[in-house]
Structure 1
């Protein structure tokens, strides 16, 4: 199912690809996510930010890597969702994921100017991503013919 692949990739980029049996791509995405996360100190920043230490979270983050993360994350979720079932319009279904990645980038860029937890605001990128999953959930699915199978028609 498409949604399951998208949700797996939401939890950890690469897991949706593995669910889709794209093992090499899934392993590459998982290691890329791990590398970006460790090099950018993203988990440390999330921990500090969620515990009310906003300034320390901004200081702990390496924004050279952090700025790459939202776009990669949104692409990994879209890729898992799109390739879970053939037949979706590649361009139209990518728009909510692009909006989500852009929202995450804006939160990362303006991190030191936001008065509220930055990485929590970065989760706002999930709203358009999940909206895209919901809006395009039936895209590419075949609709059964109401008159029945071709052999049953007069």
Structure 2
């Protein structure tokens, strides 16, 4: 019995590890899970979107509190792709590590991606691309968790 609990704890740790590496950079969780082609593709895609959207420059400006510079530096046509790629990378790494088997487990991730993109769309009017995108992503993830609970309860009736 203790061997089973040890394996279960290791599996949970590997899911958390995959999520954390994917938060650091999309594709790292896939590499950790042994999905090398998918991981390299996500890393290349992340670097390409990063380069085209000026992501590193807007992160620096955002952390310095220079929201107008953030807005001016952002290439919104490219940056709008980032929340979806980011959340897909996290979801995919989590799923490949053995997570996401419960019903509607993908819902928080998709809502996070959607609301993160909406945050990017409106970021030139409010908090800048980084802060409103992150805020939207977090709000969307929480809404998705709530919606997932409702969907699970509805299907269990």
Which TM-score tier does this pair reach, normalised by the shorter chain? Answer: 0.7 to 0.9
Give the structure 1 partner of residue 61 of structure 2.
48
Higher-Rg structure is: 1
Give the structure 2 partner of residue 108 of structure 1.
120
The answer to whether the aligner puts 1:60 opposite 2:78 as a matched pair is no
Counterparts of 1:98 and 1:86, CA distance in 2: 15
Contact 1:50–1:120, Cα closer than 8 Å, also in 2: no
Give the structure 2 partner of residue 122 of structure 1.
133
The answer to whether the aligner puts 1:15 opposite 2:15 as a matched pair is no
Give the TM-score of the pair, scaled to structure 2.
0.75
Deviation of residue 4 (structure 1)? 0.9
Deviation of residue 87 (structure 1)? 7.2
Counterparts of 2:85 and 2:100, CA distance in 1: 23
Structure 1 residue ranges without an equivalent (≥5):
136-154
| Structure with the higher helix share, 1 or 2 | 2
Larger RCO (CA within 8 A; separation ≥ 6): 1
Give the structure 1 partner of residue 155 of structure 2.
none
Give the structure 1 partner of residue 84 of structure 2.
71
Return structure 1 stretches of 4+ with deviation > 6 angstroms. Answer: none
Q: Secondary structure at the match of 1:93?
A: coil
Structure 2 residue ranges without an equivalent (≥5):
1-13, 149-157
Q: Secondary structure at the match of 2:105?
A: helix
CA RMSD of aligned residues (A): 2.2
Q: 1:78-122 CA distances to partner (integer Å, 9 max, x unpaired)?
A: 000011116714x611100011111211110001110x3441232
Counterparts of 1:45 and 1:38, CA distance in 2: 11
Counterparts of 1:87 and 1:119, CA distance in 2: 27
Q: 1:121-154 CA distances to partner (integer Å, 9 max, x unpaired)?
A: 322324628x96xx9xxxxxxxxxxxxxxxxxxx
- The number of aligned residues is 131
